[in-house]
Structure 1
Amino acid sequence: MVLQSIAMEARPKMLGGRERPAYKHPQHSCKAFETLNMMRKHNLLCDVTLVVDDTEIPAHRAVLSACSQYFYAMFTGEMTEAKADRITLQEIESNALVQLIDFVYTSEIRVTEDNVQMLLPAANLLQLTEVRDACCDFLQSQLHPSNCLGIRAFADLHACTELLSYSQTYTEQHFSEVVHYDEFLSLPALHVCKLISSDRLTVTSEEQVFEAVITWLQHDLPNRGENVAQLVEHVRLPLMPQEYLVQRVEAEPLIKENSNCKDYLIEAMKYHLLKPEQKMVYKTPRTNPRTPIGLPKVMLVIGGQAPKAIRSVECYDFKEEKWYQLAEMPSRRCRCGVAMVNSMVYAVGGFNGSLRVRTVDMYDPLKDSWTNCPSMEARRSTLGVAVLNGLIYAVGGFDGSSGLDSAEYFDIKNGEWRMIASMSTRRSSVGVGVVGGLLYAVGGYDGASRQCLSSVECYNPVTDMWTPVAEMTCRRSGAGVGVIDGLLYAVGGHDGPLVRKSVELYNPETNCWSQVAEMHLCRRNAGVLSNGGLLYVVGGDDGSSNLGSFECYDPKSNVWNMLPSSMMTGRSYAGVAVIDKPML
């Protein structure tokens, strides 16, 4: 009794009226699984052995069942495996099983290029949805024009619906780049038909689809020649310029030799003869404009003058409306041209602060890094750069002693620059744009006569010839050029000391320039690009200082709007490009 009395007195007094939550150790589950994993490795209390080929993996039924519906159904059902000590698994690689069982016990797995194609089907089979989703996320981050068709097929085979949808959209979004890779050239005819019939295909002109079809056919002409009509049926010939139909489509031997293709060509020619109001009611699958669905976009502003040449690269996220820094270029560069091909961004030529250069640097958005590319034939700063049929064209510019009338293009596949026909006049500070399969050189400065130019000429890659078109309504050197809905916009620029905020557009069908609403600020040497049906102008200078602001133009309302977020560094002579937001 004495001991009991002492024990009662030793008990701490409780405070009544307060109910405390149950104690929970935050690391309990983790420590338990660490112990279970140690036991598995030492084959302690394991009650099943998984066998694949010559690999045997001891494990615990309860652990496998808790993490995988596949094993849960196996061990709790009426299957013979429910009581078996050894279970041989089919249709799974031993390396994949080892990694997946490690995941079951540790919750960790490393997905890489080397194991993703092995892990994903195995995770699907064992119903380890977390690993399957991790594999899909990895493949999505690796999407590139060179592999998106293969990833799409892989996603379709293993019923990964989100990855399938994303890779399909990516393929449509990057069609003009996808067609240059072996995956496209190896597609069966039915798959090519399905791809080019999509309304969501993103192309700057329908000519790109036609050229892709011809390239696919010629890749194995003896076996593919019979598919020409099947494919051309899905090319929207009526949406092509009449000149291209006559000079390129009608002249193509594969079209000439096929009666069905001739019918599609005649349909296109007749469509061009219709009056605008007749075109509105004349509807066939080939007269419907494509309506692509874009992936999230960001804008790169590359290098520039602030006030000297800089290496800085800034990025604007259109959705988040924020600016952030990216990897700097290898060297200072302003007055360059910028182009995007195969999801890579190229900074071409320019001025490094002391010399006009012919060097080219390439930016990989997924790696956020720059590498060197083959240099141009000529030194060019204040040049115009554009992409036409997968080739990067560098037009005009200044080589340090005189303005240039020459032009050249870069064949990325062969890694070579080649000269093309020269323009009719020297053009430095020239703007360029591509409409209807033609390259337009807009305004600039003619060093010989020391005049800013209002003249414009266009280059036809089929004939290798430059042809003059209607002049602008005023002289513009250092104007930005952008394209929306087949119309060419010349933005700002200057005529001597006069810096302009005026903007005009060129309609190739009427060969006429007309004025549209003015910008809020005078700008020359600004970056101009289009995105989502809007025209953006970034930076530049107003004649006295560099600008960090940017504004956008809505052609539907004919209104310019200043955007609230300015660049971190005001700059002129910068290059600009729109790319898909990297999935880093």
Structure 2
Amino acid sequence: MESDIGISSNLGGGLLLRYASQNSLDESSQKQTPRSNRTERTPYRNNSHIVRAFEVLQSLRKDEVLCDIKLETDDGTIVCGHKIILASTSPYFHAMFSSFGESNKNHVIIRELDSNALKLLIDFIYTAQIMVTEENVQVLLPAANLLQLHDVQDACCDFLQSQLHPTNCLGIKAFADLHSCMELLSSSESYIQQHFSEVVEGDEFLSLSSEQVVKLISSDELTVPSEEKVFECVICWVNNSPNTRKEYLPKLMEHVRLPLASKDYLLKRVEEEPLLKNSLQCKDFIIEALNFHLLKSEQPGTIPKTIRTKPRQPVGLPKVILVVGGQAPKAIRSVEWYDLENNRWQSGPEMSTRRCRAGLAVMKDRRVYAVGGFNGSLRVRTVDMLDLSSQSPCWVPSVAMLTRRGTLGVAVLENCIYAVGGFDGTNGLSSAEVFDCNTQEWRMISSMSTRRSSVGVGVLNNLLYAVGGYDGLSRQCLKSVECYHPSTDTWTPVAEMSVRRSGAGVGVLDGVMYAVGGHDGPEVRNSVEAYRPSTGVWTPIADMHLCRRNAGVIALAGLLYVVGGDDGACNLSSVEVYNPNTNTWSMLSTSMNIGRSYAGVAVIEKPPHFNS
């Protein structure tokens, strides 16, 4: 009699596991009626299998076990590997080991490839992890380009984009152009145009060629306070090496829109510039500009139209500061916005319910989310959304959070909204959750190491920082800071602030994170400190004019704005502005219509229906 479980070969020579019994053979000879409720079986899947397999492969490679290829760089560094693994992940290696002479070799020399970059990239092939840093990105990107590891290329470009600063953006643009990183090239060009005034103050600008300067200053999309800034940068560039550069001056001045400079500036500065006195063509540009002012006042209809009389128009709509809800002194539903061009505060679409101690998030699709907070009677988990692309924008309910949260921190990272810490009405929270705008779902992420209500949050280099706050368990204001890594779903501690800050405003400007004001018990602070990831420490900067806690902090046009808050006694309607170039604070000349503490504050593009 046959065994119940046996192995037999099929006609193709393979093995077939079969289960047999006399009963089942008898039944199989009869016509079977299909079962309508038969469930579809799915294969078993072990998601950690491939991860474990590659961990073993990496261990074997490190010990040079079963390796069949040695890769050597110009400096003699040798990196071992397995051809099949390298070919399966890199089109470069796939071609090398399947179509070229190297397929029969076990030792290959790769010319003009940095040895450190090769080691990092081979490690990445086996581990799917790589750390991109300021020190390695310039060798890593071209190496990833060569080996056609496109995800590492993207990671390098994302890192460089996060590092854009007035002092390095021209170099990053040139690097992106050299390696055909088109998205990085576009974003660096936009950054240069938007930060033109700061960019031309750096050494990178002075090292540009005449053709590069012409391309830069001829753009219609420069963001400049006046055309006088363009003229001054041209003169500065020429004076950096006058003997070799003054011959380019007429070509450069052709793209300076002198008619848009003030008449006084033309007479007192431009006409007196020594470099222009010996150039007839440059004198013609001055005459054209003066005639423009003459005709503008006497015969405006006869002004000739040239590129030099065309105002520059920066890309995108002008930016405004949006202030939502807040405590004044109770939770309110009013909204107002500040127009920098007109220096005016105006009313915006009112919220459907009162809300303070909430977080505000702005997504790229021009949707504004008011997250959680306090409605005057209890902490809520509700979220309201304002669609700025609508012709009649109004606040509508969105997907509620999983947890009630007031005095929480809210930030946007990679098209997701993060809600961090807060107070649920009974306890301070260490938990955090994230809203994926694609799936329209909230999910919990790892909790912080401590409870943090009245916490400030900021995003730097695609990492989320939770700054200070209040630990209700120990009843202490905090000076600790934690950093969340979305790729690993982990929080790690970073350097502490110099003082405890609960209710501090947090803003990020040009790669620097600022912790503004806040309090430690009864003491409300006017002090401010800044954190740079490159140094990993907090350093003090100039104090604000007023003590503030629970204020909104945003960055706009190279400046940091601190909006409202309270001084411990009353709510504030004033706004202070920080200039990092001069390390000075100034008061905005116009204040909000009402004093607001715990308001949501954000920068948005001014919608066309927000009338001035």
Q: Same fold (TM over 0.5)?
A: yes
Q: Do 2:162 and 2:511's aligned partners in 1 also have CA atoms closer than 8 Å?
A: no
Shift of 1:117: 0.9
CA contact (8 A) 1:300 1:315 kept: no
1:291 aligns with 2:338: no
**Which of these residues, 170, 189, 192, is aligned with residue 213 of structure 2?**
192
Residue 129 of structure 2 corresponds to: 108
Selected match of 2:362 from 317, 336, 360: 317
Pick closer, same or farther for the CA change 1:554–1:49 going to 2, 3 Å: closer
Q: Deviations over 1:44-78 (max 9, x none)?
A: 3222211113222221111111111111111111x
**TM-score after normalising by structure 1:** 0.58
**1:43-442 correspondence to structure 2 within 5 Å:** 43-52=64-73, 53-77=75-99, 79-275=100-296, 278=300, 282-294=304-316, 299=321, 317=362, 319-322=366-369, 324=410, 325-326=456-457, 371-373=539-541, 432=589
d(CA) in 1 for partners of 2:76, 2:243: 47
Conserved in 2, the CA contact under 8 Å of 1:540 and 1:547? no
Q: Alpha carbons of 1:199 and 1:113: their partners in 2 closer, same or farther (altered >3 Å)?
A: same
Query: After superposition, what is the alpha-carbon deviation per residue over 1:356-388, rounded to whole angstroms, capped at 9, x for unaligned?
Result: 999776687999997423579xx8999xxxxxx
Distance 1:273 1:25, change over 3 A: same
Letter in 2 for 1:285: I
Count the aligned residue pairs. Answer: 413
Amino acid at match of 2:362: D
- Give the residue type in structure 1 aligned to 2:202: Y
In structure 2, give the amino acid aligned to 1:55: T
The residue matched to 2:308 in structure 1 has which SS?
Answer: coil
Secondary structure in structure 2 of the residue aligned to 1:121: helix
The whole-number CA distance in structure 1 between the counterparts of 2:559 and 2:269 is 18
- Give deviations 1:452-492, integer Å, cap 9, x for gaps: xxxxxxxxxxxxxxxxxxxxxxxxxxxx1xxxxxxxxxxxx
User: Alignment partner of 2:80: what SS?
Assistant: strand
Q: CA deviation at 1:9?
A: 5.6
Q: 1:381 to 1:264 in 2, by over 3 A?
A: farther
Secondary structure of the residue aligned to 1:58 is strand
Deviation at 1:416, TM superposition (A): 8.3
Q: Distance in 1 between matches of 2:164 and 2:605?
A: 32
Which piece of structure 1 moves more, 187-196 or 150-159?
187-196
Contact in 2 for aligned 1:300/1:316 (Cα 8 Å): no
Q: Give secondary structure in 2 for the equivalent of 1:34.
A: helix
Deviates more, 1:5-14 or 1:80-89: 5-14
The structural deviation recorded for 1:259 is 1.7
- Equivalents in 1 of 2:81, 2:368: separation in Å? 51
Q: 1 CA distance for matches of 2:587 and 2:142?
A: 53
1:557 Cα deviation after fit: 7.6
1:60/1:223 Cα in 2 relative to 1: closer, same or farther (>3 Å)?
Answer: same
Kept in 2, the 8 Å contact 1:300–1:313? The answer is no
Q: Distance in 1 between matches of 2:46 and 2:516?
A: 60
Alpha-carbon distance, 1:37 to partner: 2.1
1:91/1:187 Cα in 2 relative to 1: closer, same or farther (>3 Å)?
A: same
- Inter-CA distance 331–231: structure 2 relative to 1 (3 Å threshold): farther
| C-alpha deviation, 1:181, in angstroms | 1.4
Aligned-partner SS, 2:173: helix
Report the Cα offset of residue 33 of structure 1: 2.1
**Rounded Cα–Cα distance in structure 1 between residues aligned with 2:273 and 2:508:** 29
Distance (whole Å) between structure 1 residues aligned to residue 5 and residue 362 of structure 2: 75
* Structure 1: runs of 5 or more not aligned: 383-388, 393-408, 418-428, 433-479, 481-524, 527-538, 561-584
Which letter does structure 1 place at the counterpart of 2:109? Answer: T
Instruction: Indicate the residue corresponding to 2:444 in structure 1.
Output: none
For 2:594, which of 533, 536, 540 is the aligned residue?
A: 540
Change in 2 beyond 3 A, CA 1:31/1:125:
same
Q: 1:84 to 1:57 in 2, by over 3 A?
A: same
Q: CA RMSD in A?
A: 5.1
Residue in structure 1 matched with residue 566 of structure 2 by the alignment: none
| Corresponding residue for residue 400 of structure 1 | none
Q: In the TM superposition, what is the alpha-carbon distance from 1:149 to its structure 2 partner? A: 0.6
Identical-pair percentage: 45
Give the 3-state SS of the residue equivalent to 1:372 in structure 2.
strand
Cα distance between partner residues in 2 of 1:187 and 1:85:
46
Residue 87 of structure 1: CA displacement?
A: 0.3
Q: CA, structure 1 residues 279+145, in 2 after alignment: closer, same or farther (shift >3 Å)?
A: farther
Q: How much has 1:22 moved relative to structure 2? A: 3.3
Give the match's secondary structure for 2:540.
Answer: strand
Q: How many Å apart are 1:254 and its aligned residue?
A: 1.8
Question: Secondary structure in 2 aligned to 1:111?
Answer: coil
Distance 1:44 1:34 in 2: 14
Output the CA distance in 2 between the equivalents of 1:3 and 1:247: 107
| TM-score between the two structures when normalised by the length of structure 2 | 0.55
Alpha carbons of structure 1 residues 257 and 292: separation in structure 2 relative to 1, 3 Å: same
| Alpha-carbon distance in structure 1 between the residues aligned to 2:319 and 2:179 | 29
Contact between 2:320 and 2:606, CA under 8 Å: does it hold in 1?
Answer: no
Per the TM alignment, residue 156 of structure 1 is displaced from its structure 2 partner at its CA by 0.8
> Equivalents in 1 of 2:179, 2:605: separation in Å?
44
Letter aligned with residue 176 of structure 1:
S
SS of 2:180's partner is coil
Which residue of the partner structure matches residue 37 of structure 1?
A: 58
Letter in 2 for 1:62: I
CA deviations over 1:395-419 (Å, ceiling 9, x no partner): xxxxxxxxxxxxxx99976x688xx
Secondary structure of 1:321's partner? strand
Letter of the 2:98 partner, please give it: T
